[in-house]
Structure 1
C-alpha cells in the first residue's frame, strides 16, 4: 500500500474543445437529497485506488475485493475504487455474457453488503450487467454508497474494438452493448464523473462531465492492455486531469489473468494540476494506494487558471475548407 501527499508540478496547457457530441447522449444526474458537492468544500476525504488481477472465478475475485475493502477501511479510507471487470475475467469468448446479472442480482448484492458492512462508498468499474438480449451485456460502472445502496450506474459508451499492434484483436462490441447516458453523481467526496477504460481516449466525454455537469473527480476504472498501457496510460490520465482541472482516480487491472489476457496495471490518483499523488510502488502488485482529496485544491486551480471562463467552443464558429 502506498500513500502520497499533494505536490506541485509543472503547468501544462489544457482545454480541449467540448463537444457537439453532448447532443448524442443523455445525461442522468443523481442528487438523492444531497446538497451539490460543488457548492461547499469540506475537509479532505481519504480515498483509495485498488489494483488487482481478476480471474475467471467470481468467488475468488470477491474474496480479494473483500480483503482489500477491509484493509482500506482500517486505513481510514471512506471511498474505495476498484478496476474494470473486478468481479470476473473469463478465458473463453462469451463466458461473461452467461454470468451477466441485473444490478439487483446476487453478485452485486454481495458488494452492496460489503459497502454497508465497511461503512464505505465503493466504485465498481466494469460490472457485467445483463444486457438487452441473451447475447449481450453492458459494461457497467456501479457506484454504491456506505448504506449499501446503488447510488447510480454508468454503461460504458466507447467499446474497445481494436487490433492492438504486437498484441491481439479485441472486439468488445461482439458481446457488449454500448451505453448512451453520461452520468455525474454528487457524493461526500465531490461531484463524481463516471467513465470506464477506453472512454479515456475520448476527451470530449470528460469535457462534458467537467464543463456541462460540474464534475470535480473523474473515475476511470480500467483494464488497459500491456502494450497500450506502456505507451499511453499515464499520459492520457494526466491530460484528462489537466484539461478538466479535476482529480482523476484510475483503478487498474494488473498482470496475467489467463493465457490470453494481460493487463498493464499502475493504479494511480492524480490531482487537478496533473500531479500523480498516489500510486502503488509495484505496477503489478495487488493492493491499494491512498490519497486525501482536497476539493479546495480544485477550486484554487480553477480560480488561478480560469479556463471555464476562457472557453470558446460552445459558440458557433465559422469554418473554412479548401479542396
Structure 2
C-alpha cells in the first residue's frame, strides 16, 4: 500500500452528506473535516432564580463550569439571573452599581471559567433611590465588563388571566442601542419584552450589523405559551441572525412563575438547541457558524431589498 492520502472537506460538503461520501472512499484515505474556523460553541442557560442572591450565584457558577467544560465560549443567562424578588420593593433594596460586589462576583466567575457571560436583567442602581435600571451586562473571558444595555421597553402589562405588571413604576428605561463584538460574532443586546418590538432588532441588524441577537427573558407562563417561540423565530428570520434566548423557568415565589424553554435559533429560523424539559435547570448548547450567516444573507439579500426611504415617507 502506498502513502496515505488526505481529503479535506468543506463544512458545506460535511453537512450535505459526508456520511455517504465516506462509505465510497477507497481504503487508505484519511479524512480531516475542519469546521472550527467559523464555528463557536455557545450556550443558553435556564434557571429558576429566587430572592436568594447566593443560591442564584451558585446555580450560575455550576452552569458556567459545565458549559466551559463543554468548550462553550459564550454562556447566556436569563433576565433577573441574580435575583427575583418575592415581595414588592425587594429589587430596589438589593440594587447595586456594576462595580459592586454582586456583579464583581460574576466578573470573577467569567475570568475563572475563561468564558464570556451574557447576564440579562441585572438590577443596576439608577440615579434616584426609587428606580433601578434593568441592565444586560456583557463580560469577557478576562472578567472585564465589555458593554451594557439598559432595557428600553418596560413590561407594563395586564396579562390575560394572570396578573398586572408595572415594571415602569420602579425602572428607568434605557435609550441606547448596543452591539458588541465577541468570539461568537457581533452581538446585539436586548432584554425580554423588547422581543415584541421588531424595530429594535431591525436596527441592530441593518444599522449596526449584528450577527447574533441575545434575548435574556423571564416570560410569564401565559405569554410564553402563546408567543415565546414564534416571536423568537420571527426575529431570527427577519434579521437573518442567530438568536440566543436564555429563559427563567418555573415558580419563583407564590406570585410569580416563568415559562422557560431556552432556545438557540439559526438565521434560517430553525431551532438548533433547546432543553429537553421546559422546566428544568440546565444549558442548551449549539455552534454559531458565521459562514451560515453569510450564506443565508447572500442567497436572500434582504438588506439590499429594503426600502427605508419609502417606509419613512409612508409613516
What TM-score comes out, normalization by structure 2 length? 0.88
Query: Which residue does 1:17 correspond to in 2?
Result: none
1:209 and 2:204 correspond: yes
Q: Distance in 1 between matches of 2:169 and 2:272?
A: 37
Correspondence list, 1:13-52, <5 A: 42-52=37-47
Shift of 1:154: 0.1
Out of 257, 282, 301, the residue aligned to residue 252 of structure 2 is 257
Q: Is the 8 A contact 1:242 1:274 kept in 2?
A: yes
What runs of 5+ residues in structure 2 fail to find an aligned partner? 1-13, 17-35
Q: Is the 8 A contact 1:69 1:80 kept in 2?
A: yes
Shift of 1:243: 0.3
Q: Deviations over 1:80-135 (max 9, x none)?
A: 00000000001111101111000110000000000000000000000000011001
Question: CA 1:117–1:281 in 2, change beyond 3 Å: closer, same or farther?
Answer: same
Question: CA 1:93–1:316 in 2, change beyond 3 Å: closer, same or farther?
Answer: closer
Q: Is the 8 A contact 2:233 2:270 kept in 1?
A: yes
Out of 79, 83, 93, the residue aligned to residue 98 of structure 1 is 93
Query: Which residue does 1:222 correspond to in 2?
Result: 217
**Rg larger in structure:** 2
1:293 and 2:277 correspond: no
Q: Relative CO higher for 1 or 2, CA cutoff 8 Å, sep ≥ 6?
A: 1
Task: Give the 3-state SS of the residue equivalent to 2:201 in structure 1.
Answer: helix
Query: Which residue does 1:305 correspond to in 2?
Result: 300
* Segments ≥4 residues shifted beyond 3 Å: 314-320
Shift of 1:42: 3.9
Shift of 1:315: 4.3
What TM-score comes out, normalization by structure 1 length? 0.85
Q: Which deviates further from its counterpart, 88-97 or 136-145?
A: 88-97
Query: Which residue does 2:194 correspond to in 1?
Result: 199
Task: Give the 3-state SS of the residue equivalent to 1:157 in structure 2.
Answer: coil
Q: Is the 8 A contact 2:45 2:246 kept in 1?
A: yes
Q: Distance in 2 between matches of 1:195 and 1:311?
A: 23
Q: Is the 8 A contact 2:73 2:183 kept in 1?
A: no
Task: Give the 3-state SS of the residue equivalent to 2:180 in structure 1.
Answer: strand
Task: Give the 3-state SS of the residue equivalent to 2:227 in structure 1.
Answer: helix
Correspondence list, 1:264-283, <5 A: 264-283=259-278
Aligned length in residues: 283
Correspondence list, 1:69-80, <5 A: 69-80=64-75
Q: Deviations over 1:54-93 (max 9, x none)?
A: 0010000000000111111111111100000000001111
Q: Distance in 1 between matches of 2:154 and 2:312?
A: 30
Q: Is the 8 A contact 1:42 1:295 kept in 2?
A: no
Question: CA 1:211–1:229 in 2, change beyond 3 Å: closer, same or farther?
Answer: same
Q: Distance in 2 between matches of 1:244 and 1:64?
A: 32
Shift of 1:43: 2.6
Please state which structure has a larger fraction of its residues in helix: 2
Q: Distance in 1 between matches of 2:90 and 2:159?
A: 22
Q: Is the 8 A contact 1:250 1:267 kept in 2?
A: yes
Q: Deviations over 1:219-244 (max 9, x none)?
A: 00000000000000000000000000
CA root-mean-square deviation: 1.6
Q: Is the 8 A contact 1:158 1:199 kept in 2?
A: yes
1:233 and 2:228 correspond: yes
Q: Is the 8 A contact 1:7 1:275 kept in 2?
A: no
Query: Which residue does 2:24 correspond to in 1?
Result: none
Correspondence list, 1:122-201, <5 A: 122-201=117-196
Q: Distance in 2 between matches of 1:161 and 1:132?
A: 21
Shift of 1:314: 3.6
